[in-house]
Structure 1
Amino acid sequence: MTQRLRVGIIGAGGIASDAHIPNYLKCGDKVELIAIADVVKEKALQVAQKFHIPHAFSNYEKMLQEMELDAVSICTPNKFHAPAAVAALEAGCHVLCEKPPAMTASEAERMARIAKQTGKILTYGFHYRHSPQVEALKRFIDANELGEIYSARAQALRRRGIPGWGVFTNKELQGGGALIDVGVHMLDTALYLMGYPEPAIVLGSTYQKIGTRKGVGLFGEWDWKNFSVEDLAQGMIRFKNGATLLLEAAFAANIEQHEMMQVSLMGDQGGADVFPLKIYQEKYETLIDITPSYLPKQGYHEVEIARFVDSCLTGTPPLSTPKQGTILQHIIEAFYQSAETGEAVKISLNEY
């Protein structure tokens, strides 16, 4: 591989044009954007023209066949993550796949297996990991300032934040709603800070109470007549090490705040809230709260893309790994299964 990463984009929607492409361009001479593919050729051409990308395709298989690429970003609806990732890996490309990893745990396992077989990097777009708050807290955790983390809570809640664009409310294309779209961000953040423990049991419930009727849309007017996903998900994960995680995700819920993205941790030596960062401890017979007076300003996506590029060029492992992606996908799948059956679901991870 040359020291200039030749990148292709699969999917020309908002996450590609707003996050991936602009931040690849910020990498300067390290990156050359070669091509973009989208099933709507006009959209691919429009984005290609806007960002001066020389080639546009309506078929990513053709792009992978005709272009000499080192890496791709997958920015499609969830249904197409796995097939696009597998095709790119088998074509010899490193892959940055937007969250969630896939639609099912078996798909995520296949993606991980192909990445291992090809020796290519496969990582996922969990950009909150790259926030200064998470990075700072991870240093405290690694220094054992929180001790054994035995309880956590992850919340991704919106008052009326149903997306009024894209296919986010289409279960066939996305696999679900609030949980698989925004809940995965805080779920991954919590799991990452907990050391990605192996899950044992998941008990979850989902609700569709607001999305199927017309209402105030803070993210634009949504297609309430064809709303086929959950607008609220709540549940608990118990891990094999005895720790527990409470999870809440909502596109629309009757709460005070317009949006809440939060991870809270409790350890035997300290606890923390992440957004904004605050650490709680008992030291020298005193209960203390620790808040940083300064954290660097950094764009989460900008850091994510820069690190992916460096991983591809240097061979350093990515922050988000295929194994973690399979664990997270197993949890999501078990959560939806539990919500459907009304029973707790046991998780058994497979080797790949």
Structure 2
Amino acid sequence: MKNFGLIGAAGYIAPRHLKAIKETGHNLVVAMDVNDSVGIMDSHFPEAEFFTEFEQFSGYVEDLKQTGQKLDYIAICSPNYLHLPHMKFALQNGIDVICEKPLVLNAEDLETLKRYEEQYGAKVNSILQLRLHPSIIALRDKVAAAPIDKVFDVNLTYLTSRGKWYLKSWKGFDEKSGGVATNIGVHFYDMLHFIFGDIKKNEVHYRDEKTSSGYLEYERARVRWFLSIDANHLPDNAVQGEKLTYRSIDIEGEELEFSGGFTDLHNQSYQNILVGNGYGVEDNRAAIETVAEMRNAEVIDFPVNAHPLLEKVKG
């Protein structure tokens, strides 16, 4: 049985990590979050220690180390801009990391993580669960089996409505979240790289605090993409759930269906990590470089390869 810590216990994604730790047969020793709405912990680890200040958490973890009860892993579900310092803390204490997406905000931070891994002998693992989805694996196999010179035409559309709170939280500040393309899109760009190979071109056609759109070329695909948290852009057939959402990946007129099958992907991620088959620092490089470039690229006003929804946004 491995011993875990968890940073960001009140976050949206934390319950998936709590469930994965529990269902893979391991133990949560300590958790922290600046917010104390963490009653979900009682469903999984009611005996776990909890702190609302990082200094208390770090002190507790270091005390465990001094008494020979060092944590094996720290799971990190904190805001994007805190991933790097929280990973550095774990690595400095010789503790392996399991970190949510995006691993970091900038490519140079990947080099920092590699230095820390080498210096302290601990390892970074990331959650790239879309790589484990059966539909995405099947598409990757289909692309690999296609003629080597075949380049696929793809439209990626993801709209997930968010209320006024979003822009007032850390998610609404580019320096903290990385912006819309990073915060809600980084796992899609990792998926595209995973399926279609190395990136060759990266254009941004529109970018504001709620919406981003552009064009990507990979070795095996030309991708027009559109991401938004603005409910005004949702089509009539948006899916009613926790929030109105529309997700579509169209590959030459054929829809990639992957709306289901997500329930156990964090569990599978943990199972792989625990046997030494997790996704590490370098596995994240392509997606991190992609979103960092999108954040800083000059916007092309009259693009040739515009996504169909861009005309609606620009009026």
When normalised by structure 2's length, the TM-score is 0.76
Please list the CA deviations of residues 123-150 of structure 1 after superposition, one character each: whole Å capped at 9, or x if unmatched: 32232222221133334345x1464553
What's the counterpart of residue 171 of structure 2? 168
What's the counterpart of residue 193 of structure 1? 195
User: Which residue, 47, 52, 55 being the options, matches 2:46?
Assistant: 52
Q: In 2, Cα distance between the equivalents of 1:201 and 1:139?
A: 23
Please list the CA deviations of residues 56-100 of structure 1 after superposition, one character each: whole Å capped at 9, or x if unmatched: 132143343233211121101111011111221222222221111
What's the counterpart of residue 89 of structure 1? 91
1:32 maps to a residue whose letter is: N
Q: In 2, Cα distance between the equivalents of 1:159 and 1:10?
A: 25
Q: Does 1:36 align with 2:31?
A: yes
User: Which residue, 3, 11, 15 being the options, matches 2:12?
Assistant: 15
What's the counterpart of residue 304 of structure 1? 266
1:103-182 mapped onto 2 (5 Å cutoff):
103-142=105-144, 144-145=145-146, 147-148=148-149, 150-153=151-154, 155-158=156-159, 160-162=161-163, 164=165, 167-177=170-180, 179-182=181-184
What's the counterpart of residue 247 of structure 1? 225
Contact map agreement 1:153 1:190 (CA 8 A) in 2? no
Identity %: 18
Contact map agreement 1:154 1:263 (CA 8 A) in 2? yes
What's the counterpart of residue 249 of structure 2? 263
2:246 maps to a residue whose letter is: M
Q: In 1, Cα distance between the equivalents of 2:97 and 2:49?
A: 19
2:193 maps to a residue whose letter is: L
Q: In 1, Cα distance between the equivalents of 2:142 and 2:175?
A: 41
* SS of match in other structure, 1:15: coil
Quote how far apart the aligned CAs of 1:272 are: 5.7
Gaps of 5+ in 1: 209-229, 278-296, 345-352
More displaced 10-residue stretch of structure 1: 117-126 or 244-253: 117-126
Gaps of 5+ in 2: 65-69, 239-244, 304-315
Please list the CA deviations of residues 108-130 of structure 1 after superposition, one character each: whole Å capped at 9, or x if unmatched: 33224433554544232232222
| Distance change in 2, residues 1:139/1:171 (3 Å) | same
Contact map agreement 1:205 1:335 (CA 8 A) in 2? no
2:227 maps to a residue whose letter is: A
Contact map agreement 1:37 1:63 (CA 8 A) in 2? no
Q: In 2, Cα distance between the equivalents of 1:272 and 1:146?
A: 18
Q: In 2, Cα distance between the equivalents of 1:27 and 1:191?
A: 29
RMSD, matched Cα: 3.2
Q: Does 1:331 align with 2:310?
A: no
Q: In 2, Cα distance between the equivalents of 1:255 and 1:17?
A: 28
| Distance change in 2, residues 1:91/1:340 (3 Å) | farther
* SS of match in other structure, 2:225: strand
User: Which residue, 239, 257, 264 being the options, matches 1:275?
Assistant: 257
Quote how far apart the aligned CAs of 1:233 are: 0.7
When normalised by structure 1's length, the TM-score is 0.69
* SS of match in other structure, 1:135: helix
| Distance change in 2, residues 1:149/1:107 (3 Å) | farther
**Aligned pairs, how many?**
284
Q: In 2, Cα distance between the equivalents of 1:150 and 1:64?
A: 50
